Structure 1
Amino acid sequence: MATSTRVALLVCPTSGKGRAGRVAGTVAARLRDVADRLDLHVAPSAAGTAEMARKAVADGVDVLVVLGGDGGAHLAVQACAQSATALAVVPAGTGNDLATALGATSLDAVVTALRDGSRRAIDLGRVENGPWFATVLCAGFDSAVNERANSMRWPAGPRRYDLAILAELATLRPQRLVVETEDALLELDALLVAVGNTTSYGGGIPVCPDALPADGLFDLTVVEATPRRTLLRMLPTLRTGRHVEHPAVRTLRARSVRLSGTSWVAYADGERMSEVPLTTTCVPGALTVVSGAG
């Protein structure tokens, strides 16, 4: 590389049912080809991942590479946000939505981006008095699906979310939701709300299909109360992003969002956040990423 680059590789060995641990040696060897120095860290737990990420950033590494899924990436985002350390993600988890948003769909893509020095700044969401998130914050039906999917041992990958969706449909009930932004106020019976910094969650479901991670705005998708049979017909369009064309779907853009009026639990980056009410704000350029996209 043109300049001296110090890279830390943070391995989440249980990601992808152990896949991250199995490929760690190969990933480290490839990264050594494009880094002047590579520090290797293997995290035994989520708490260990968070602590190792904080220490690597405090130690001044140029790039923190996470080998894992969205959970490990979410913890690394907390350390890298508004720092001089760039984040890269080698996908090895179940969903890999952040890696996909960054154009890091393979080890080769990450190695090439590191070699070329491809970096850019993206926005992050921040929950008031809480953590950062890089992809999508959701509440309602979709967060219930997330909670169920996280508890399932089988199957792996996007099919897990598909089965969780079907299971949650059986107990689906709308709630009164209030959505406040700097320009709008919505109060309606709703099934879900998604606040997107990037397009997708749940292993590639483009719930906010037009979201851009560097425009300084969230994209919001709100699904109004609708009969279960109507929702069933709508579900296949989630995989293509065409659900936003349905009359029961509202879309908004906003810099800041307050959600209230429900007892829903919010998830972001696939991780449990807090109960509604909550406020979240889009912070422009809060994270530097190693990326082959955009």
Structure 2
Amino acid sequence: MTQPVWRLILNGKSSGDDAVREAVTATREQGQTLQVRVTWEAGDEKRYVDEAIADGVAVIIAGGGDGTLSEVAEAMAMSGHDAGALPALALLPLGTANDFAVATGIAVEPQAALNLIAASTPQPMDLLRLRGDGVEHWCANLATGGFGTEVTVETPEGMKKLLGGLAYLITGVAKLATIEPQTARFSGEGFQWEGEFIALGIGNGRQAGGGQQLCPDALLDDGLLALTIVPPLGSEAVGSLGTLLSEGKAGFLAEVARQASLAWVEIHSDSPLTLNLDGEPMQAHHFRIDCIPGRVRMHLPAATALLRGRA
């Protein structure tokens, strides 16, 4: 019987990480065939995913942050294969904030993250498909707009390397006093809303930007996207917005935000609107976002709260 093969697609920024090298070596010593491919330039993720599918590997491991996870998941989704014919997906969290891993409970310690693969059964997971002005992208975790997008895009790389997730908080605090509302029209099945907003979350997962829980009730396998629209707030509320979001105050969002669970949503804006897809900005006047149920199968902790029926 041929042993299942795992293939790690490792973000080039983490290729020199000693903990990753040690975890890969230990996993191989346990008898698991684990192959590594390191990304160097744009397009490598897709090429490596296509090669892994053609080679019939059992598991594709995205080694990097939320952006790497989405890029690998996007390549799998756009391969043309049904979820059942694709390798399972796993995550080795190596990003700055690792929002998807934190929310789902995937260990950020490399050896523990690899051990999860052998100890778990891959579960069907939805993906978000975003189309805007003729361009298509896929997202595994969260698409954000307004405040969350500005914080993610404007946090310097050097600060992220030095301070990790704290860098997002520092940038967020600095921007709170200068938030400029954006205006858009939102529509979905049985849902209509139009007006100004300062923060927007369209979630498969629950948090982004270093712990901003914009979609605290999102599930990975319910066939729905979680939509949260935060309109402009009074000065007192604005002063505490960053802290409340970073602490996941779902009650605060329920009070001040417009929330919905939808299979799809369309967004129209007279001015160009930027959405951040797990670190990848996408700009358009019109977006169509669909939740594609069970598009991949992913190794997740048994106790994760982001699957239906899990505690």
TM-score (norm 2): 0.84
> By how many angstroms is 1:285 displaced?
0.6
Query: Partners in 1 of 2:3 and 2:97 — Cα distance?
Result: 33
- Shift of the 244–269 alpha-carbon distance from structure 1 to 2, 3 Å rule, reads farther
Once the two structures are superposed, the pairs formed by residues 176-255 of structure 1 within 5 Å of their partners are: 176-242=183-249, 244-246=251-253, 247-255=255-263
Moved more, 79-88 or 126-135: 79-88
1:164 equivalent to 2:171? Answer: yes
Query: Partners in 1 of 2:259 and 2:90 — Cα distance?
Result: 30
Query: Partners in 1 of 2:119 and 2:237 — Cα distance?
Result: 48
Count residues with an aligned counterpart.
289
1:260 equivalent to 2:268? Answer: yes
Query: Partners in 1 of 2:30 and 2:6 — Cα distance?
Result: 9
Match of 1:148 in 2: 154
Moved more, 95-104 or 63-72: 95-104
Calculate the aligned-residue CA RMSD, in Å. 2.3
Contact 2:128 2:139 in 1 (8 A): yes
1:271 equivalent to 2:280? Answer: yes
Q: What CA deviation, in whole Å up to 9, does each residue of 1:196-243 have, x standing for no partner?
A: 101111223221111111111111111112234421123211122225
Match of 2:113 in 1: 110
> By how many angstroms is 1:162 displaced?
0.8
Query: Partners in 2 of 1:23 and 1:257 — Cα distance?
Result: 41
Secondary structure of residue in 2 paired with 1:153: helix
- Shift of the 96–28 alpha-carbon distance from structure 1 to 2, 3 Å rule, reads same
Residue identity (%): 27
Look up the equivalent residue of 1:79 and give its one-letter code: A
- Shift of the 233–40 alpha-carbon distance from structure 1 to 2, 3 Å rule, reads closer
> By how many angstroms is 1:40 displaced?
1.6
Moved more, 264-273 or 222-231: 222-231
Secondary structure of residue in 1 paired with 2:272: coil
Contact 2:19 2:110 in 1 (8 A): no
Contact 2:173 2:242 in 1 (8 A): no
Contact 1:13 1:21 in 2 (8 A): no
Look up the equivalent residue of 1:177 and give its one-letter code: A
Q: What CA deviation, in whole Å up to 9, does each residue of 1:172-216 have, x standing for no partner?
A: 111222111111100112112110101111223221111111111
Secondary structure of residue in 1 paired with 2:126: strand
Structure 2 residue runs without a partner (length 5+): 78-82, 305-311
